[in-house]
């Protein structure tokens, strides 16, 4: 076997990593395009097909079909059966494409873990701000929004149903990971602050049969959540409480646990401290607070998913992703005790910081 050629002494490293980063948008948009035209759902329905058959079934021309299928195969989203055949082979011949296990689990509509709506939400909701990243860096203001929108980023006009629908499956998977890592078996009443479409409330109530949950969020979000909860038959255990945690002086009280999942990364430190103080007041003595987030390492060198989510917060909100040490300091200064960090592996969070009301 021939040894790979070594670069001359003093030569710079190969630029492969930089080119891979630069082309990241190409991969993301390839995935979004394939999801939007229904490639993976179509393949699941028919079991596999050649490029020509897929072009006909999806209403694509031969060139875009071939290019898309090649790219999706290179990304590991499609597998092929058999080697490519020569050019001008009959239409029904050639390699048959089929979904990879990952595509089959997450990219086929109507399957329980379908992430297609999340992928399209990221494309439509967050990408425009990323294309103006330099504005966010220079202005220290979210480039996702026009100046007149920047103080109303969570208003109904700026957060469509597609936003909440897109987040729901990712949040459901994350909630399951949180439920495995943090024992809520003795918790009776949970307050889910900023609980969005109810994914965490639903999954945690399914895991812990004694649990009842109040989802506290903006009125239009609660209306959406009520429908989600009713659809899964949990309306007796999950209630909503419309409100705005920065406009109102207090959160609903009498709970023995409070959950903040992917909430604090939206806001700056002063507002987060105010919210933690309100959470403490809402808890019964000895009550538990759970902060579930993509935590940045304490030395602020990673991990990559948390660091990039922090960039996403720069683009779209007034916050960033914080370290467990930062949360611990805020919690102790707010009057909490027994601060712990519980790592776990979820698609939307890598750990929880928990504490008890002192």
**Bridge partner list, 351:** 293, 343
According to DSSP, residue 48 is labeled: -
User: Can you list the pairs that 327-336 forms with residues at least 24 positions away whose Cβ atoms lie under 8 Å?
Assistant: 327/264, 327/291, 327/293, 327/295, 327/353, 328/353, 328/355, 330/269, 330/272, 330/273, 330/276, 331/276, 331/289, 331/355, 333/273, 334/273, 334/276, 334/277, 334/280, 335/280, 336/276, 336/280, 336/289
Show the tokens assigned to 151: 């103080």
Residues found in the chain: 358
Cα separation, 41 vs 114, whole angstroms: 10
The Cβ of residue 318 has, within 10 Å, a number of other Cβ atoms equal to 16
Active site residue 265: yes
- CA distance between the termini of the chain: 66
* Residue (of 15, 225, 36) closest to 117 by Cα position: 36
Q: Compute φ and ψ for 17, nearest 5 degrees.
A: -65, -40
* Residue (of 238, 241, 170) closest to 198 by Cα position: 238
Exposed / middle / buried, residue 254 (Cβ in 10 Å: 0-12, 13-18, 19+): exposed
Q: Where are the alpha helices (DSSP H) in the chain?
A: 16-22, 24-36, 39-46, 51-58, 62-74, 101-106, 116-121, 127-130, 133-139, 161-181, 199-207, 219-231, 269-282, 304-316, 324-333
Which positions ≥6 away from 323 have C-beta within 8 Å?
295, 296, 297, 298, 300
* Residue (of 118, 100, 99) closest to 42 by Cα position: 99
Catalytic residue among 125, 224, 255, 265: 265
Catalytic residues: 265
């Amino acid at each position: 076997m021939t040894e790979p050629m070594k670069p001359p002494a003093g030569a710079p490293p190969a630029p492969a990593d930089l080119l891979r980063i630069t082309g990241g948008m190409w991969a993301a948009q390839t995935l979004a395009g394939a999801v939007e035209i229904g490639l993976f759902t179509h393949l699941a329905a028919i079991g596999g097909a050649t490029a020509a058959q897929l072009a006909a079934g999806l209403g694509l021309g031969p060139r875009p079909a071939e290019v898309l299928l090649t790219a999706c195969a290179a990304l590991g989203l499609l597998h092929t059966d058999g080697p490519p055949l020569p050019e001008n082979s009959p239409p029904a011949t050639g390699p048959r494409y089929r979904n990879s296990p990952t595509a089959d689990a997450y990219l086929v509509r109507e399957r329980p873990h379908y992430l297609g709506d999340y992928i399209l939400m990221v494309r439509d909701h967050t990408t425009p701000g990323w294309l103006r990243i330099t504005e966010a860096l220079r202005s220290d203001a979210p480039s996702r929004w026009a100046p007149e929108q920047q103080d109303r980023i969570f208003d109904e006009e700026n957060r469509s149903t597609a936003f909440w629908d897109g987040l729901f499956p990712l949040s459901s998977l994350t909630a399951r990971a949180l439920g495995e890592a943090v024992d809520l078996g003795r918790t009776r009443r949970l307050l889910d602050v900023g609980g969005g479409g109810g994914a965490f409330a639903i999954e945690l109530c399914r895991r812990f049969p004694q649990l009842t949950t109040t989802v506290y969020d903006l009125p239009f979000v609660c209306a959406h959540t009520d429908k989600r909860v009713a659809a899964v038959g949990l309306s007796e255990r999950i209630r909503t409480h419309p409100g705005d945690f920065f406009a109102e002086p207090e959160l609903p009280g009498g709970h023995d646990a409070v959950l903040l999942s992917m909430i604090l990364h939206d806001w700056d430190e002063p507002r987060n401290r105010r919210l933690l103080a309100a959470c403490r007041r809402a808890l019964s003595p000895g009550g538990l607070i759970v902060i579930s987030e993509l935590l940045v390492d304490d030395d602020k060198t990673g991990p990559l998913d948390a660091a990039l989510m922090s960039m996403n917060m720069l683009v779209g909100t007034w916050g960033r992703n914080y370290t467990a040490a930062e949360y611990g300091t805020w919690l102790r200064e707010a009057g909490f005790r027994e601060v712990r960090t519980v790592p776990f592996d979820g698609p939307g969070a890598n750990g929880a910081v928990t504490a008890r009301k002192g």
